[in-house]
Amino acid sequence: MTVFDYQQLNGIALAYLGDAVYEPFVRQHLLEKGLTRPNKLQHAATHFVSAKAQAALIALMEEDDLLDETEWSYFKRGRNAKSYTHAKHTSVLTYRISTGFEALFGYLQLAGKNDRLAQLAHWCIDQVEAGRTQHEE
């Protein structure tokens, strides 16, 4: 078995994992709310996992002083990473911020910070449910 050093990963790689790490929390939450129809689940999930929602969540994390210095550094690694793809329905800035959001979750997963990961995921879900991520288009 080789030793894996997640600290050397670029922000895009961290975001790739982070996207997959955050989504099961959202899916479980939606099922626990009683949503079972696929089209309703997919529509509801976008309120939690869209680039706009994730960018709004990062702003709330900053407003609530929720992240420590290391967590911010991994967010910035994702936000500042050179990406060769772009979002279809959002600005480049929003897309980059959401990439940072996902990189943060990737970092927490790879660092084995499962309690912190769950804490932030549930906090994010609570913010969306409370309507704190709604913004004017």
- Residues annotated as catalytic (active site), given as ranges: 19
Q: Within 13 Å, how many C-alpha atoms sit on residue 66's CB side?
A: 20
How far apart are alpha carbons 48 and 30 in whole angstroms?
Answer: 10
Q: In 80-113, which residue ranges form alpha helices assigned H by DSSP?
A: 92-110
How far apart are alpha carbons 11 and 23 in whole angstroms?
Answer: 18
How far apart are alpha carbons 44 and 56 in whole angstroms?
Answer: 16
Residue with tokens 């879900």: 125
